[in-house]
Amino acid sequence: MNKVSFFQSIRLKIIVILSLFILLAIQVIGTYFGQKLEENLVKTHQSNVEDRLQVLENNLEDAFKKERSEDEEEQTLQEEVREITETYSSDIFSELQVIDSQFRVLGSNSFDMVGKKISGNSSIRLALVHGQEDDDIRRNGRDRVYVRTLPITDEGVAVGAIYSEASLEGVYDQLQDINEIFVNGTILAVVISIIIGILVARTITKPITEMRKQAMGMARGDFSKKVNVYGQDEIGQLATTFNDMNDRLKLANQTTEEERRKLSSVLSNMSDGVIATDEKGNITLMNDPAAHLIGVTLYEVKGQPIKDILQIEDKVVDVKELEEVGTLTIDFSDEEQLFLIKANFSIVQDEEGNFMGLITVISDVTEQEKVDRERKEFVSNVSHELRTPLTTMRSYLEALTDGGAWEDKELAPQFLQVTQNETERMIRLVNDLLQLSKMDHKESAMYKKRIDIIPVFNHILDRFEMNKTELIHVERKIPDERIFVWVDQDKITQVIDNIMSNAIKYSPEGGKITFQVVKEPHRLRISISDQGLGIAREKVDKIFERFYRVDKARSRELGGTGLGLAISREIIEAHHGHIWASSKEGKGTTIYFTLPLRKRKRGSRK
């Protein structure tokens, strides 16, 4: 947050407001006072002029009356008017004239005007012709003057007039002096109000400034400081409330931070992925498992629509529809491998029930889907494997019972032989299935013991050479030494029987089977190679799957169940070994398996 300058602060505003209030009050008072003072001074000046003119008027009326009643030896009217004018003329009049009925100036404070006629003055004409008084304030150049015209009457008839001009500049000079004093007082009052405003503003703004600094600290997460309380007024109560709010926010922040850490820990340690969106469906949060599942980071997808990232644009139009969908299985598979993600959607609402976003939990269900598919395929294969011999048996038994073949001494033994072979085939299949089931449930016990394995290998191969009917040669590459391993001899014999049986079945007449034993560090590697048709590269790893056959017709013809290599894999892995195959089409197949070379552990029976 930027620092507030003095010109933007509330302190300046308080000072300006107080100063304006003082200035406004002084101006209102000054304006009213000035107007009233001007009126009073002008009226006083006019009153003084009236008093002087009234005395002058009375004496002039007497003078005009004498002019008609006294003899010619007395002073003439003009001389008497001049004497009266000189007597009553004073500094108050800037111009004073006495005019007779002929518009001739009989007396004046300006001797140049005596004896002259005045005809252009309208106020004098009104006074002489109509006997009307007149007064006015006029401009005489730059000066303001009070003009007063009075008629001199004799028995109601105007026989003369008095015209006077009294300067008002003295009044206005006095007003100017008073205004200057008032302005100086105003300036002094404003200065004092600014000083008082600064003190008052400081008193008001200091706790506010402290609260502002504390608010900035709270915004940064610092709740350690307190605001000083300077009184019990509204600002003091505000400071107390602010401190209380600080404590509550500190507690709330600690609670929120604790919950955030818990949530972050939960999200980080969840095996499932979690994706959160805003009200528009754009991604705002994603944990590491989710990033690993969809193969992108939060930085790359933040702000992008979740529909695009999860590739469900064709399934929903609006993200709000995902609430009704609930759960989706999304296929991210490519040409190389199967990859399925299960997404569970739940919406986030505010207190008013408005849609605020989505919480999506995603998990990898590829293995589950594979298990489901394998289970379905296993059930299908078992059904098929059982249905084939049962169908054959039913057909031959029906031929024996319904067709009378049992009476035929040549056909009956053949039919019964087929039935017996199919029965033995089902028994082998069921036994293999039982063995696999026990191994899957860890119910098949391993009776391991420390034995010299080389004689066991030779004994097994001797048995195969004695019983084989095909013209197939078995080549032995077995070291002439004693090699001790910790194994279940019967189980290892079963593994070699399964592999050798397959090698014999798929080897051509005159072919060769190579049995090789190689001693390696910490393990013994055994390989059995044939010269059969071989297996395509993409199918090599599948031969250890249950019921998988490279040549299904030949396997059934030879009585195989398709479970031998699957059982062999389980047995070898139970011995902590590894089994695999390599093959080239047209050049045969080699099955490898290893057995660990380790000492007997005390008390081991497994």
On the question of pLDDT at 554 being above 60, the answer is: no
What count of other Cβ atoms lies within 10 Å of the Cβ of residue 301?
19
CATH 3.30.450.20 residue ranges for the chain: 10-175, 270-364
Q: Is the pLDDT of residue 228 over 60?
A: yes
With vertex at residue 464, the alpha carbon angle to CA 462 and CA 470, rounded to the nearest 5 degrees, is 130
- Phi, psi (degrees; rounded to nearest 5) at 451: -135, 160
Give me the pLDDT at residue 515, please.
93
| Token pair 């009326």 in the structure block, residue | 61
pLDDT at position 605:
42
Q: Which CATH class is domain 446-596?
A: alpha beta
* Region(s) of the chain under CATH 3.30.565.10: 446-596
Alpha helices in 270-297 (DSSP H): 288-294
Share of the chain above pLDDT 90, in %: 4
For 173-183, what is each residue's pLDDT tens digit?
A: 888 888 888 88
At residue 549, the pLDDT reads: 64
Distance of CA 558 to the CA centre of its chain: 69
Q: What was the pLDDT predicted at 79?
A: 74
Q: How confident is the model over 402-420, as a mean pLDDT?
A: 71
Structure tokens at 550: 């490279």
Distance CA 501, CA 469 (A): 12
Contacts of 512 (CB under 8 A, 6+ apart): 472, 473, 474, 475, 530, 531
Q: What is the pLDDT of residue 602?
A: 45
Asked whether the beta carbons of 210 and 198 are under 8 A apart, the reply is: no
| Higher pLDDT pick, 601 / 231 | 231
Do 392 and 422 touch, CB atoms closer than 8 A? yes
pLDDT score of 406: 65
Task: Name the amino acid, one letter, at 513.
Answer: I
For residue range 129-170, list pLDDT tens digits in order: 777 888 888 877 777 888 888 888 877 777 788 888 888 888
> Lowest-pLDDT range, 6-20, 210-224, 273-287?
6-20
**Structure-model confidence comparison of residues 13 and 588, the more confident one:** 588
H helix runs in 70-129, sequence order: 77-88, 122-125
CATH superfamily of 270-364: PAS domain (3.30.450.20)
Average pLDDT taken over every residue of the chain: 77
Query: Which runs of consecutive H residues, i.e. helices, occur in 280-410?
Result: 288-294, 298-301, 306-309, 322-325, 366-401
pLDDT confidence tier of residue 556, bands split at 50, 70 and 90: very low
Find out whether 453 and 487 touch, Cβ atoms under 8 Å: yes
Fold of 10-175: Beta-Lactamase (3.30.450)
Euclidean distance between CA atoms 186 and 26, whole angstroms: 7
Distance CA 205, CA 185 (A): 29
Encode pLDDT of 530-552 as tens digits. 888 888 777 787 787 776 666 55
> Mean pLDDT lowest for which of 81-90, 293-302, 446-455?
81-90
Q: Where in the chain is the domain with CATH 1.10.287.130?
A: 370-439
More confident residue, 469 or 226: 226
The answer, yes or no, to whether residue 470 has pLDDT greater than 70, is no
Asked whether the predicted pLDDT for residue 200 surpasses 70, the reply is: yes
Q: What is the CATH number of domain 370-439?
A: 1.10.287.130
Q: Where are the beta strands (DSSP E) in 89-128?
A: 95-100, 105-108
* Confidence at 111, pLDDT banded by 50, 70, 90: low
